[in-house]
Structure 1
């Protein structure tokens, strides 16, 4: 059920003399490489324990958009021979981006499917839509059954954005402002990320002689479907899981040996390595693309695609560790060595400065040629560089820094998000922590993996993350409550019950994880999790 308001009521803005901004490098590269087969969407999913008032939410969301005017943009139309793409700031939404979905048992699953298959238009401001889904009875989809209250009505806010224009951090900031305006609570100061200085030079990947090498990274092996079947598959698949937050190792001299973000990277590399071995592929170097976001988190946060992408080599300094890592029971000492090496690499990469996509992208987007020619060159370079593209994308927001308090509808009890998983990479892992739980989303290209393979990968990721947790617990008895060390003052103590996101109760790191949550949605383009999966066998 969509809004019946007209565009005029929402203030359709033509603004021929409005503010225009040239596309940043990331936006232009994304715009050149758009494909109908793999929509460039980002989705943010917030679960609330209560119900929202439609008119009040629409008003709060509209005011949040006006608070962040950079979100109110659309692409300026033009010809292929123009010199640059440009955004036009409209000052008002072109239409009502909020819709309330008709309740039903498959309402949330269908909304997730739309988030993967239907991209918001770049020709309309803002390039996002917010769907509100009410979940009746028991636990909301994606939550453990003990979290539900029979007969209660819960709400899911599902925000879908075009990734050419906005990223997950921007969408989460808009939702945080919406919560502040809806709930009437004063915004608390939100600390920005703090990057510790690297403890030494980043270790390089080496061969058996100790010489640094730049080996071609391995690809995620395709599943066992026939090649013609994979070639006809379109879009992304997605699976969401709730896991215990991994423990954090104790600090020495104010610096932890590795963060939970490092554990996620290692778990993802072990997942890919073990999957490839199971598919009969030889082991090889895994490289993971990791977004780094240095923006402030308050209302002054710049909107758009504000991260820079870095590549982390997930290889041990000792090549003999490869066999120890990829066995049925990975050697904990080898995992510890990989964690230590990864931590030193990520500290160096986070503290370094550089172009968002590297010098090559800066050259391809230089305004020396018309956008049509630049687009052809960019797509050609992307195809040529496909064998050297990183193995997977791992995005970690960490502990969600906002309370997301919607007043009488309650505070967020779960936050999931996902990033595109386009070929040739074909796999992305996204993680966020809320209320002491880790919410992980695996998203994959259907041209690479089917639902059964996605479920298998998710199981391997859970096992691999459990392995890194064993290593961490062996070195520290302190349990952590948020998955990233980029938040000032974060330590291994329990959060203040009155702090944003604490929900007035202790976190639950030890709650068992339900393997039945790892079952895919048979609906093309959809995703299914927790409670829904228990009711529908794979």
Structure 2
């Protein structure tokens, strides 16, 4: 028998980190969308979303208001969704689909009321319908969002959707216990925080841009789907233990270097944020929640002179990260901050620009890995496309989401319009794709 969850439970370490970084002008929302072969019925989809929310608690939480002296933040769990925020788009073409996607994901998702996500359904006729979700990343990582999407699809198709037996609240605490050696004195903690914020780390490289400073909240997306043959050819680049993810990381670092050189901007240390799954092996794809650590994958100019050498360096680095499960500096910072009053913790995003965002990064890459269609062969629907991209906060003006669905690599480039105009964003994506093509075997 499943133990009922409490009506209130605390934010975990990753929830709180993202809560403080999420800002209306640069919202940290997760993009996920599917294209199916046929028509999605609106009312049936709404019921499927409600069904999925009943299975996944984080999809029906709101943030409890906090007082200045509070030392913790809490989620309020609601029994069910009072409303499903689903926008309907009729008769879409590629341009209207692009605008709908940008509009959905440029919206900040408030946490004062449930649910912490917004949806859109685009009816696209014979080309198949699109279903899109923008979920506030404070409540879930990309793996959790895909698990929620999976429940929506299964409920819509009326097929079984068993969930993990792993205890939900226990899972949210795994790997996040505070360091017992932290200083006990509050003033000493604050001193250490300020030392971290004012550290003399070299600021990371920025991507040269030509965005519209007046449109700080706008986001754009560029989906790129590889053919099965193109996806297979990527395997020819794998050597020395490199994964497809290592290839994408190496290509993104190389593309940033080349792009900046072409635009007259020097590129020193590139620091790329990459979420790393902390779930247990037997429930690796379960639990819709924030259970990913942030790690940084770094390259220096001397390592980027040759693609193969950089790939080897990146592969060694990611292998070491997997073995040691290294925390990013912001996670260590949040461990320090959790013993301070909430009003002090809220000040972190405002302090970061004063240090030149030195503890920030250049870009973000997330990878869902290889996925097979969750729908059975005899289903009335077929899943033809699946897209996701991780959030990025300016001055990180670009992120990349990757996954392979049924032997087709899907890449979703997300960019701030403050970083790129649409034409320039496509030009950057072409640099990325050219580098991949140049290094594939014929």
Normalised to the residue count of structure 1, the TM-score between the two structures is 0.67
Secondary structure of the residue that 1:112 maps to in structure 2?
helix
Q: Does the 8 Å CA contact 1:239/1:455 hold for their aligned counterparts?
A: yes
**Deviation readout 1:26-80 (Å, 9 max, x if unpaired):** 2223222332222222110101011123333222221121112232211112333
Offset of 1:289 from its aligned partner? 1.2
Q: How has the CA–CA distance of structure 1 residues 108 and 405 changed in structure 2, closer, same or farther, with 3 Å as cutoff?
A: farther
Which is richer in helix?
Answer: 2
Q: How has the CA–CA distance of structure 1 residues 453 and 104 changed in structure 2, closer, same or farther, with 3 Å as cutoff?
A: closer
Unmatched segments (≥5 aa) in structure 2: 165-200
The residue aligned with 1:460 is 431
Q: Does the 8 Å CA contact 1:43/1:160 hold for their aligned counterparts?
A: yes
The residue aligned with 1:508 is none
Offset of 1:390 from its aligned partner? 1.8
**Deviation readout 1:464-502 (Å, 9 max, x if unpaired):** 2223434xx7xxxxxxxxxxxxxxxxxxxxxxxxxxxxx
Q: Residue 207 of structure 2 is aligned with which of 198, 215, 220?
A: 220
Offset of 1:272 from its aligned partner? 0.2
The residue aligned with 1:83 is 71
1-structure distance, mates of 2:237, 2:394: 39
1:373-384 → structure 2 map (5 Å cutoff): 373-381=344-352, 383-384=354-355
Q: Residue 12 of structure 2 is aligned with which of 24, 33, 37?
A: 24
Q: Residue 334 of structure 2 is aligned with which of 361, 371, 377?
A: 361
Q: Does the 8 Å CA contact 1:180/1:405 hold for their aligned counterparts?
A: no
Secondary structure of the residue that 1:100 maps to in structure 2?
strand
Q: How has the CA–CA distance of structure 1 residues 251 and 157 changed in structure 2, closer, same or farther, with 3 Å as cutoff?
A: closer
Offset of 1:250 from its aligned partner? 9.2
1:414-433 → structure 2 map (5 Å cutoff): 414-433=385-404
Q: Residue 307 of structure 2 is aligned with which of 332, 335, 346?
A: 335
Does residue 12 of structure 2 align to residue 40 of structure 1?
A: no
Q: Residue 168 of structure 1 is aligned with which of 142, 156, 181?
A: 142
The residue aligned with 1:444 is 415
Does residue 223 of structure 2 align to residue 240 of structure 1?
A: yes
1-structure distance, mates of 2:261, 2:237: 34
Bigger shift: residues 233-242 or 457-466:
233-242
Q: How has the CA–CA distance of structure 1 residues 451 and 135 changed in structure 2, closer, same or farther, with 3 Å as cutoff?
A: same
**Deviation readout 1:125-147 (Å, 9 max, x if unpaired):** 221123221112xxxxxxxxxxx
Offset of 1:156 from its aligned partner? 0.9
Q: Does the 8 Å CA contact 2:270/2:300 hold for their aligned counterparts?
A: yes
**Deviation readout 1:174-203 (Å, 9 max, x if unpaired):** 11122222223445999xxxxxxxxxxxxx
The residue aligned with 1:13 is none
The residue aligned with 1:266 is 250
Q: Residue 382 of structure 2 is aligned with which of 382, 403, 411?
A: 411
Unmatched segments (≥5 aa) in structure 1: 1-16, 137-151, 191-213, 326-333, 474-538
Secondary structure of the residue that 1:238 maps to in structure 2?
strand
Q: Does the 8 Å CA contact 1:100/1:133 hold for their aligned counterparts?
A: yes
Structure showing greater radius of gyration is 1
Matched length:
397
Secondary structure of the residue that 2:129 maps to in structure 1?
strand
2-structure distance, mates of 1:73, 1:407: 35
Q: How has the CA–CA distance of structure 1 residues 403 and 456 changed in structure 2, closer, same or farther, with 3 Å as cutoff?
A: same
Bigger shift: residues 389-398 or 71-80:
71-80
Q: How has the CA–CA distance of structure 1 residues 462 and 82 changed in structure 2, closer, same or farther, with 3 Å as cutoff?
A: same
Q: Does the 8 Å CA contact 2:271/2:362 hold for their aligned counterparts?
A: yes
Offset of 1:383 from its aligned partner? 4.0
Q: How has the CA–CA distance of structure 1 residues 274 and 182 changed in structure 2, closer, same or farther, with 3 Å as cutoff?
A: same
Secondary structure of the residue that 2:213 maps to in structure 1?
helix
Does residue 294 of structure 2 align to residue 309 of structure 1?
A: yes
Q: Residue 52 of structure 1 is aligned with which of 40, 46, 49?
A: 40
Q: Does the 8 Å CA contact 2:218/2:417 hold for their aligned counterparts?
A: yes
Does residue 163 of structure 2 align to residue 180 of structure 1?
A: no
2-structure distance, mates of 1:159, 1:68: 15
Secondary structure of the residue that 1:131 maps to in structure 2?
strand
**Deviation readout 1:274-319 (Å, 9 max, x if unpaired):** 1100111224232211111132686982222221111112248xx3
2-structure distance, mates of 1:183, 1:232: 40
Secondary structure of the residue that 1:413 maps to in structure 2?
strand
Q: Does the 8 Å CA contact 2:237/2:247 hold for their aligned counterparts?
A: no
